[in-house]
Amino acid sequence: MVLVSDLIDGADLGVRAVLLPAPHAAVTWVVATELLQPASYLEGGELVLTTGLVMADAEAATWREYVASLVEAGVAALGLGTGIAFDTVPEDLREACRAGRLNLIEVPLEVSFASISREVGAMLQATEPEIGAEGAGNEEILVLQQLTRAAAKDNQSAIMRALASILRGEVSLRDATGRTVVGPFGPEATGIDDEVAECIDRIRPGGMRGAGAVGLGDMRLVVRPVGITGEPERYLVTVQRETLTRAQTLGVDLAWSFLNLIAESSKAFTGWLLQLVGASTRHLLAGDIAQGLALADQVQELVLTRLPSPERRSVPATGGGHQWRVVCLEGGSADVAGLSTVLARLLVESRGAPVGEQLLWRTDRGGTRLMILGEVERVPSLLEDGSVTPWTERMRIGVSGPVGVTDLPRGAQQALSVCTGTRQLGQAVRWETSGLPSVTDLLDEERAQAFARARLGGVADQPELLELLRIYLSEAGAVQRIAERLGVHRNSVPARLVRLRRALGVDIEDAEQRANLWFALHFWAE
């Protein structure tokens, strides 16, 4: 028998006791869940783990109801993961557990739910004869053990294979367009791609709280967002029987929780990666080649250290005599952010790749512009990649000519000139085919940026006005097209333009002022 006190005293789990009114309560298994009302899926004796995401704004009464339902279900203890929704254990939760005499444990951010499940599973397995004598060797225990063993491998595929075995149905991970990115595992369910894509479109506005299901005869297609914070980038898709057993329901909930936590850990890593990639790109575009390449090497090392490749290859010093291209993309902030995340994933997936596939990027101008540095061999395939095109189809794209690493600042000017000059969306235009050179190529970038700061100072801290100015100039002041680009009614555009004119302090209908503003936007850098 495993007791709650064993988790604190006899195991190296890294958890902390907050309240232990019943330290000798027996733990039968671990359930990680973000459900607001999980009690109907519990049988008693569980250690319930949650980040409390759905309780982030909960009042004291909600905590009391939540704890009361766990007590009624016979839960052994509640473990709250801090550092995501809550920095510390809320006082309202403490009071609710104190009143209900429910054991309360804090799980620090650095301790994964998967590691707790793995350790507790091992402890339960060590007492298996005793558990068997008490009749606990049932289907739920087997499901728990199967998933905790899969979670110990710390990868999505192992968890999804285990879930497919439990459900005896297809399990896959899809992106926001419905494209399969992991899997499928289990018996193949043919002809479901359209239904999956439609279901994701339907639930996407709900963010992490959205979920959907579609009937497929005697089977059921269920789509769940994967993650804890931010907007979902992946969706768990299961094809299962219309009615699940309690063990299968437990398996889905536990597997989903494991996948959510893996996704959140990946986001934290991606955040660090984006900072390092952005810093490297900034130095290279500023002409600080040595520092930029040193940071690029750190990017490669970070990826290889965190996610070692089974075929790890030595990577020669970055730069050298290789030719690069610079890609400038302009679009909505959501598209730019989505594309940046996709690029991070592509960088991770190509870990250990040769130097000819170097990839760096940064966002600027309030998150509406993305500058990508790629070695010549990689740029064409990158822009045609199936995970990239859904984001770039609404963006203007300019590509520089081939440049050496020391000429990257000139390449950036070329890409920016082509990008701001094109009216087509989703189609990459190369410097070599864009026609005559731009007058901006004659300007000193440092002085041009000083000019931009002076001209745009009135809207520098108002990104919505900067975006309005960019659209106004690119659409030559056409009200209907401006309204369509902004997604607003055309009657609201004149008032927006009055506000823009006042902030800038110039007549935006004057041809000379428009030219000045165009140059200022071209060289604007925040």
Does residue 274 lie within any of the structural domains?
no
Determine the pLDDT at residue 305. 59
Higher pLDDT, 439 or 431: 431
Q: Which of 66, 96, 126 is the last residue of a domain?
A: 126
Residue 454's CATH number: 1.10.10.2840
Q: CATH number for the domain including 195?
A: 3.30.450.30
pLDDT confidence of 369, banded at 50, 70, 90? confident
Pairing of strands 234-241, 171-175: antiparallel
Listed in sequence order, the residues at least 6 apart from 416 whose beta carbon sits closer than 8 Å to its beta carbon are 328, 371, 398, 440, 522
- pLDDT at 309 (0 to 100): 43
Is there a single domain that holds both residue 428 and residue 468?
A: no
pLDDT of residue 525: 58
Which of 24-33, 169-178, 430-439, 505-514 has the least mean pLDDT? 430-439
- Beta carbons of 188 and 203 less than 8 angstroms apart: no
**Residue 432 and residue 455 share a domain:** no
Contact in structure between 415 and 431 (CB atoms under 8 Å): yes
Domain limit, last residue, from 262, 281, 311: 262
Q: What is the pTM of this model?
A: 0.46
DSSP H/E element including 372: strand 369-375
What average pLDDT does the segment 31-35 reach? 81
CATH code of the domain containing 344: 3.30.70.1710
**For residue 295, pLDDT beyond 70:** yes
Closest to 119 measured CA to CA, from 82, 79, 63: 79
- Work out the average pLDDT over 198-225: 82
236-272: per-residue pLDDT in tens? 999 877 677 777 888 888 888 888 777 766 666 677 6
The enclosing domain of 103 has a CATH number of: 3.40.1390.20
CA 233 distance to own-chain centroid: 5
CA Rg value for the chain: 27
Range 274-277, long-range pairs (CB < 8 A, 24+ positions): 274/340, 274/344, 276/302, 277/344, 277/347, 277/360, 277/361, 277/362
State whether 110 and 157 are in the same domain.
no
Length of the chain: 526
Asked whether residue 75 falls in the same domain as residue 163, the answer is no
Could you report the per-residue pLDDT of 75-105, keeping only the tens digit for each?
A: 999 999 888 778 899 999 999 999 999 999 9
Asked whether residue 462 is assigned to any structural domain, the reply reads: yes
Whether 118 maps to a domain, the answer reads: yes
- pLDDT for 267 equals 66
* Same domain assignment for residues 419 and 389: yes
pLDDT tens-digit readout, 296-346: 777 777 666 555 444 433 334 444 457 889 999 988 877 888 788 788 777
Q: Is residue 110 part of a domain?
A: yes
Q: Which residue has the higher pLDDT, 138 or 391?
A: 391
330 and 415, same domain (yes or no): yes
Q: What is the pLDDT of residue 138?
A: 62
Q: Which domain holds residue 344?
A: 322-441
Q: What is the pLDDT of residues 410-437, one digit of tens each?
A: 888 888 888 887 878 888 888 888 765 5
How many domains are there within the chain? 4
Average pLDDT, stretch 205-215? 79
- Interhelix angle 408-421/246-285, rounded to 10 degrees, is 110
Query: The tokens of 469 are what?
Result: 């100015």
- Do residue 41 and residue 155 come from a single domain? no
Whether residue 473 sits in one domain with residue 500: yes
In a domain, 64, yes or no: yes
Based on the fold, state whether residues 420 and 477 are members of the same structural domain: no
| 405 and 388 part of one domain | yes
Residue 300 lies in a domain: no
Residue 272 lies in a domain: no
Q: Does residue 327 share a domain with residue 397? A: yes
Give the DSSP letter of residue 422.
-
Domain membership of residue 301 (yes or no) is no
Strand, helix or coil for residue 404: coil
Q: What is the pLDDT of residue 80?
A: 92
In order of 3, 64, 110, 253, 313, the CA distances from 29 in angstroms are: 11, 24, 21, 14, 42
- Looking at 416, 441, 466, the residue that finishes a domain is 441
249 in the same domain as 218: yes
